[in-house]
């Protein structure tokens, strides 16, 4: 092996599954000249890895630094992991800038979910030089940085011998303050587990570490100022993680240890009246309760429908199918597209036909209509079931239904369809309708593919959420298989492209090991170029968390709003406290009226964004007792929403990139369909047409 460019020092904590994930991300780094040094090593963990890299062993982290030979040193905890291009990115940045430290951000994890990205605020591309005070104030993680080995040795920078909580603060602050240059990038991340804190022991330890730091830097006013600015930040982070019973002690202890440092930790108790009495509603998958707090005592009461509510519900169910007050007949004047009109894309579900997997898992004859027709209202006023008119309960075994769907879509202003594409490492599911569409050139409708890359569970039918029917992974050679299968569609003249770049949506890149999707995307882009395209235009569905990391790491071209995905946390759509008759209902009802009236769909975005909306959305047909979400809407609300985002799109997106996404054309079992139904008739289609025409004015 050539001389190591980097020494990776790995502290082993004892969890084998997380250890294997960590080591795999190190062994598969794009930077190859790496030596590995293990601390607290265990042969039972290392046997399968011993022959793969230069391996050394050390008893302590300081010993590991001394025996390392890499030009730079990086630290990893075996519970954590890194992007596959992590070391290469940090190393190249350090070499280009001749930096003593090359840093990135930490993404904190809890229960497998990314929580937040911690690092200097602002937009930082590769080779951004960071002010020492800024990077210390942002975070004192030593593991999201690499350090020039000679720099550490020449400045005697090492960890305290005692295992203090806050030891990493000591090491990082000393290193950053001694460095001539620190370079920062947000192109890669270090993924770490959130800490669980014990309280008093950590508080005492943190105080000792800062006392040592202040003593060592005595007389150096600039450095002392930076340390004193960091302590309040560190204290706030620790304070927020402590249970409330520990916080009073924390405030008293820290303020007594550092009386000259101003630390505002905020209020420790809610206002007096709130402590005495408060009422709030909670909505969970396990129970639906109203919480009372009286004199500090918490009382949970199950919300149940009264006898009066049940009578009202019964009358509603009996009479709902007779109600035609909102029904709108088919238009007599079709939409005529104009050059500057944005392009409305409706998501299309090719599920309504028999295929082997459905028959194997759910029985002969099963389709999405099976779920749709078994739905019932959960409260008075709840619109269920959704029953089709015009096309009726169609079957996609032939293209007859598609011909009418395309006719209706064009009649009301829909520009194209985005077909859900179910592709599992070469195995395709419910592909027959789109294959027939491809073969039938008379079906004159622009289209492109939405790769629904998520595991299939029995929630598609009536089973439990954790029963996986089809898992999802990316295997060696899948880039070639994927493109071989999808290229015939992309080469079709109807396939939607931007500047000779075929469109493609990828639903869940986050389900793969970090870096796998980035590599896969680069490979399929290269294949597309070899086939005569300028590139692919790849889009990501908007997420509630970690959108920035996903876009940056995988280099997506744009973000697509796939409402309600990414918008169901309660902060965008608020909860409604409906009087549920079904005690077994697990889920929540959301207020679409509030969302549209307050125009919450307008928000700041850092990426090219294609806005989206739904007519309504309600998956109780599939998930009534396993976490259903209900978003009831009206054609009027839908029209207002659509018209607003049409105007936004015209103002914010380039002329050839003015796409708006509607969820969906025919998601009947999720209550999201533009296709006409018995209650509203053609009302949502009519609202679509009117919004497009009125937005021209």
DSSP secondary structure string, 312-335? HHHHHHHHHTT--TT-BPPPSS--
More confident of the two residues 524 and 509:
524
pLDDT value at 580 more than 70: yes
**pLDDT per residue as tens digits for the range 229-256:** 777 666 666 665 565 556 666 666 666 6
Higher per-residue confidence, 285 vs 574: 574
Q: What is the pLDDT of residue 215?
A: 85
Segment 535-552, tens digit of pLDDT: 999 999 998 777 888 898
With tokens 């840093």, the residue in question is 103
pLDDT band at 515 (very low <50, low <70, confident <90, very high): confident
**Rounded CA separation 513/517 (Å):** 8
Query: 68 pLDDT exceeds 90?
Result: yes
**Whole-angstrom distance, CA of residue 180 vs CA of residue 98:** 9
- Looking at residue 285, its pLDDT comes to 41
Question: Residue 49's pLDDT is what?
Answer: 55
> What are φ and ψ of residue 374, in 5° steps?
-90, 0
Q: Looking up tokens 């959130």, which residue turns up?
A: 194
Q: Could you report the per-residue pLDDT of 78-99, keeping only the tens digit for each?
A: 888 888 899 999 999 999 989 9
Q: Give the model's confidence band at 107: pLDDT under 50 very low, under 70 low, under 90 confident, else very high.
A: confident
pLDDT at 307: 86
Among the ranges given (109-113, 441-445, 594-598, 676-680), the one the predictor scored with the smallest mean pLDDT: 109-113
* Token pair recorded at residue 174: 């000393």
Per-residue pLDDT reduced to its tens digit, 391-437: 999 999 999 999 999 999 999 999 999 999 999 988 899 999 999 99
618 SS3 class: strand
Q: 373 versus 301: which is more confidently predicted?
A: 373
Q: Which residues contact 502 (CB under 8 A, 6 or more apart)?
A: 448, 490, 495, 496, 528, 533, 536, 537
- For the stretch 134-164, pLDDT in tens is 677 667 788 999 999 999 999 999 998 766 6
Q: CA-CA distance, 692 to 413, in Å (whole number)?
A: 7
pLDDT level of residue 462 (50, 70, 90 thresholds): very low
Specify burial of residue 364 (Cβ count, 10 A radius: 0-12, 13-18, 19+).
Answer: exposed
Question: Kindly report the CA angle at 619 between 384 and 512, in degrees rounded to 5?
Answer: 170
Which pLDDT score is estimated for 125? Answer: 46
pLDDT band, residue 283 (cuts 50/70/90) = very low
Kindly tell me if the per-residue pLDDT of 201 is higher than 60.
Answer: no
Q: Is the dihedral of CA 450, 454, 459, 460 positive or negative?
A: positive
Q: What is the DSSP string of 360-425?
A: HHH-TT--HHHHHHT---SSTT------B-SS-S--TTSSHHHHHHHHHHHHTT--EEEEEEEEET
Residue tagged 């630290």 (tokens): 75
Q: Which residue has the tokens 């790849």?
A: 538
> What pLDDT is attached to residue 622?
84
Residue pLDDT, tens place only, 582-605:
877 877 889 999 999 999 999 988
Give CA 599 to chain center in angstroms: 22
For the stretch 206-221, pLDDT in tens is: 777 878 888 888 888 8
**Which residue segments constitute the domains of the chain, with CATH numbers given?**
6-194 (3.90.550.10), 197-265 (no CATH), 272-302 (no CATH), 311-694 (3.20.20.80)
Q: In terms of Cα–Cα distance, which of 400, 458, 384, 402 is closest to 617?
A: 384
Across residues 511-518, what is the average pLDDT?
82
Q: What percent of the chain has pLDDT over 70?
A: 77
**Percentage of residues in the chain having pLDDT higher than 90:** 45
> Is the peptide bond preceding residue 313 cis, with omega within 30 degrees of 0?
no
User: For residue 191, what are its two tokens?
Assistant: 């993924």
> What average pLDDT does the structure give for the chain?
83
Whole-number Cα distances in Å, 349 to 346, 392, 431, 450, 631: 10, 16, 10, 10, 19
Check pLDDT > 60 for residue 459.
no
> Of 53-67, 297-311, 663-677, which one has max mean pLDDT?
663-677
**Euclidean distance between CA atoms 468 and 670, whole angstroms:** 20
* DSSP 8-state symbol, 132: H
Q: Ramachandran region of residue 55, left (φ > 0), alpha (ψ -120 to 50) or beta?
A: beta
> In this predicted structure, which of 436-450, 485-499, 622-636 has the lowest mean pLDDT?
622-636
Strands (E), 580-675: 587-591, 609-610, 612-613, 617-618, 628-632, 659-662, 666-667, 672-673
């Amino acid at each position: 092996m050539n001389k190591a460019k980097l020494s990776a020092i790995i502290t082993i904590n004892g969890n084998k599954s997380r250890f294997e994930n960590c080591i795999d991300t190190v062994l598969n780094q794009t930077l190859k000249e790496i030596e590995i040094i293990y601390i607290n090593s265990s042969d039972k963990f290392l046997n399968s890895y011993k022959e793969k890299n230069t391996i050394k062993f050390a008893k302590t982290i300081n010993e590991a630094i001394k025996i390392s030979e890499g030009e730079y040193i990086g630290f990893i905890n075996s519970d954590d992991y890194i992007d596959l291009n992590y070391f290469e990115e940090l190393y190249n940045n350090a070499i280009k800038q001749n930096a003593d430290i090359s840093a990135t951000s930490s993404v904190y994890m809890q229960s497998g979910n990314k929580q937040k990205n911690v690092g200097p605020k602002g937009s930082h591309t590769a080779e951004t030089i960071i002010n020492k005070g800024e990077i210390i104030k942002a975070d004192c993680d030593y593991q999201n940085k690499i350090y020039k080995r000679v720099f550490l040795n020449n400045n005697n920078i090492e960890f305290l011998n005692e295992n203090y909580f806050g030891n990493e603060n000591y090491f990082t602050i000393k290193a950053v303050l001694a460095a001539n240059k620190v370079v920062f990038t947000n192109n890669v991340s270090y993924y770490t587990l959130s800490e669980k804190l014990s309280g008093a022991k950590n508080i005492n330890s943190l105080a000792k570490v800062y006392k040592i730091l202040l003593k060592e830097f005595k007389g150096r006013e600039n450095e002392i100022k930076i340390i004193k600015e960091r302590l309040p930040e560190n204290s706030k982070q620790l304070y927020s993680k402590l249970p409330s019973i520990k916080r009073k002690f924390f405030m008293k202890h820290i303020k007594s240890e550092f009386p000259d440092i101003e630390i505002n930790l905020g209020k420790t108790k809610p206002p007096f009246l709130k402590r005495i009495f408060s009422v709030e509603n909670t909505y969970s998958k396990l129970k639906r309760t109203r919480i009372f707090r009286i004199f500090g005592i918490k009382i949970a009461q199950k919300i149940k429908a009264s006898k009066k509510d049940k009578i009202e519900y019964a009358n509603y169910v009996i009479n709902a199918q007779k109600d035609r007050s909102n029904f709108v007949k088919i238009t007599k004047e079709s939409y005529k597209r104009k050059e500057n009109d944005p392009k409305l894309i409706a998501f299309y579900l090719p599920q309504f036909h028999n295929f082997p997997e459905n028959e194997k898992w759910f029985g002969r004859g099963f389709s999405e209509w099976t779920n749709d027709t078994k739905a019932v209202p959960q409260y008075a006023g709840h619109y269920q079931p959704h029953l089709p008119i015009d096309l009726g309960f169609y079957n996609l075994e032939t293209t007859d239904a598609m011909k009418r769907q395309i006719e209706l879509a064009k009649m009301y202003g829909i520009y194209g369809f985005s077909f859900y594409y179910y592709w599992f490492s070469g195995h395709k599911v419910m592909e027959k309708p789109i294959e027939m569409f491809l073969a039938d050139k008379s079906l004159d409708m622009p289209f492109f593919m939405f790769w629904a890359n998520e595991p299939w569970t029995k929630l598609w039918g009536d089973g439990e959420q954790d029963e996986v029917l089809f898992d999802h992974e990316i295997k060696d050679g899948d880039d070639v298989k994927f493109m071989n299968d999808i290229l015939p569609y992309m080469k079709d003249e109807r396939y939607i492209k931007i500047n000779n770049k075929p469109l493609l949506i990828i639903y869940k890149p986050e389900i793969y090991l970090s870096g796998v999707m980035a590599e896969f995307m680069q490979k399929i882009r290269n294949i597309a170029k070899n086939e005569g395209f300028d590139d692919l235009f790849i889009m990501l569905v908007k997420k509630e968390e970690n959108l920035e990391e996903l876009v940056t790491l995988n280099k997506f071209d744009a973000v697509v709003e796939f409402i309600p995905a990414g918008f169901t946390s309660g902060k965008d759509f608020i909860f409604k406290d409906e009087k549920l008759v079904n005690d077994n209902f697990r889920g929540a009802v959301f207020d679409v009226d509030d969302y549209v009236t307050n125009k919450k769909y307008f928000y700041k975005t850092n990426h090219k964004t294609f806005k989206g909306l739904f007519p309504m959305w309600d998956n109780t047909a599939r998930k009534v007792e396993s976490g259903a979400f209900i978003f009831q809407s009206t054609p009027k609300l839908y029209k207002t929403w659509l018209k607003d985002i049409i105007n936004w799109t015209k103002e914010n997106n380039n002329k050839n990139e003015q796409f708006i996404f509607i969820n969906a054309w025919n998601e009947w079992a999720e209550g999201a369909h533009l296709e006409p139904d018995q209650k509203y008739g053609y009302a949502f289609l009519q609202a679509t047409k009117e919004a497009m025409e009125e937005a021209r004015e």
